[in-house]
Amino acid sequence: MKGYSSVYSNYSGGGGQYSSSPLHGNSQHYQDSYSVYSKMMKKDIKHGVYDSSRGGYQKNPTAQNLESMVKGNYINSKTFNKQVPYVITTDGKVIIGDRNGNGRTPSKTPTPHPTLIGGFDPKVKMAGILDIRGGKIYSYDDRSGHFRPNNKSMKWADEAFKNYPKHRNFKGGK
């Protein structure tokens, strides 16, 4: 973030060491599962997202299993249009939740990817952003500043999303 630090909720760290986009150049080595990138955890401690005296990462209250949201040919309904953070757990479940799951106002603690699982050391097989258009999956990616999954792990996303309703222009993993 360059020159717009006022838009950060509970957060003043800005872009930090890895502020250049996209994240792909800064991914972790390929692993079966990923823990939170250490520099991001330090930021989370500083800004109250991670608190070791309260169980580590508090769980995002809006976190839910994507499977439970499927209604017929739609995820939720045809008016469901948004980008949401997702993680794939070590047992293959897809969890999504709002990026501002604790509330929208600035005083609320942000809910980055690790809060979709919560705890001291949340681990994921994959994490990124899911783009849902008209209640159908349009695309998913590997953008998670916290887990920085290796692009080789995209195969887990391909596998996890394969049976969900797809948009007519479904782009797959990108």
In the complex, which residues of this chain contact another protein (CB under 8 A)?
1, 4, 6-11, 13-16, 18-23, 40, 47, 79, 81-85, 98-100, 103-106, 110-113, 129, 133-134, 143, 145-146, 168-169
Residue with smaller CB distance to another protein, 9 or 64: 9
Q: In this structure, are residues 85 and 129 in contact, taking their beta carbons and an 8 Å threshold?
A: yes
Amino acid (one-letter) located at 43: K
Residue with smaller CB distance to another protein, 46 or 159: 46
Give min distance, CB of 46 to another protein, in A: 12
Residue with smaller CB distance to another protein, 53 or 79: 79
Give min distance, CB of 55 to another protein, in A: 19
* Buried/exposed 138-169: b ≥16 CB within 10 Å, e otherwise: bbbbbbbbbbbbbeebbebbeebbeebbbeee
| Spatial separation of the C-alpha atoms in residues 108 and 47, rounded to whole Å | 11
